[in-house]
Amino acid sequence: MAGKLVYMVGPSGSGKDSLLQALANDLPHDCVIMKRVITRPENSPGEVADSVSMQSFEQIEAQGGFAMSWRANGLAYGIPKDLDRHLGEGKTVLVNGSRSYCTHVSQLYPDVIIVLVAVRPELLRQRLINRGRESLQEITLRLERNRCLEQVLHNKLALRQISFFLLDNSGDLSLAVEQLRDKLETWCNARIQSEKSTFLS
């Protein structure tokens, strides 16, 4: 039984991590959220991740310990191989992902659903400042990266006909969480239905 990969992307500060953290408290049945391995210092505010040195990261990567890995913002990010086990068990698996890695992911996992988290641009800077994880200089670089990536991503998804679900998180977080939860239920049910009909045919 094959599960479903849900790859969440969006500008830095759009709320990917907040959405995933909120969902974690009330996850739909058979859904899993992957914890990432990141070369970010331990105890950084925000996302709960496994912090490792660049040397350890490269070792895990070389030994094939990641289902996927990428570099951005001066950091390295890895998704442990457990991802494939969860998918094999028929789970719906959520990953906090990178816009620049979307097309690669769609080659590795053709059934992937991309969730594109969006937020009104004027809110982004303030949200990043409030989060207090990056310096002002780093925040400026992330906002610049957002500007560069936005159009490229839309073009890439359209060109390769990769479908995505646009999730607006400009309003209250709970509204976006509710919307995402509903979508997850729909995707899970659609998968179960299609498995039933394959089994019956």
Ligand X SMILES: Nc1ncnc2c1ncn2[C@@H]1O[C@H](COP(=O)(O)OP(=O)(O)O)[C@@H](O)[C@H]1O
The span of 49-57, 68-76, 79-87, 124-132 binding ligand X (CB under 6 A) equals 124-132
Helix (H, G, I), strand (E, B) or coil at 44: coil
In order of 103, 121, 172, the CA distances from 108 in angstroms are 9, 31, 34
Identify which of residues 16 and 86 has a Cβ nearer to ligand PRP in the complex. Answer: 16
x/- track of binding to ligand PRP for residues 123-142 (CB under 6 A) = -------------------x
Q: How far apart are CA 96 and CA 35, in angstroms?
A: 9
- The sign of the CA dihedral 44, 142, 60, 21 is positive
Specify the amino acid at residue 133: R
Residue 15's binding partner among ligand PRP, ligand X, none (Cβ under 5 to 8 angstroms by kind) is ligand X
Q: How far is the CB of 159 from ligand PRP (least distance, A)?
A: 17
Q: Which of 21, 44, 47, 181 binds ligand PRP (CB under 6 A)?
A: 47
Identify which of residues 3 and 97 has a Cβ nearer to ligand PRP in the complex. Answer: 97
Q: Which of 7, 57, 66, 77 binds ligand PRP (CB under 6 A)?
A: 77
Q: Which helix (H) or strand (E) holds 135?
A: none
Residue 16 sits in the site that holds ligand X (CB under 6 A): yes
Q: Which helix (H) or strand (E) holds 124?
A: helix 121-131
Instruction: Classify residue 73 as exposed, middle or buried by CB count within 10 Å of its CB (0-12, 13-18, 19+).
Output: middle
Residue 12 sits in the site that holds ligand X (CB under 6 A): yes
Where b means 16+ CB within 10 Å and e means fewer, 78-116 reads bbbeebbebbeeebbbbbbbbbbbbeebbeebeebbbbb
Residue 100's binding partner among ligand X, ligand PRP, none (Cβ under 5 to 8 angstroms by kind) is ligand PRP
Q: Kindly state the number of chain residues that form the binding site for ligand PRP, as judged by CB under 6 A.
A: 18
Which residues form the interface with ligand PRP (CB under 6 A)?
9, 12-13, 16-17, 47, 72-73, 75, 77, 96-100, 142, 145, 149
Which residues form the interface with ligand X (CB under 6 A)?
10, 12-18, 46, 127, 130-131, 169, 172-173
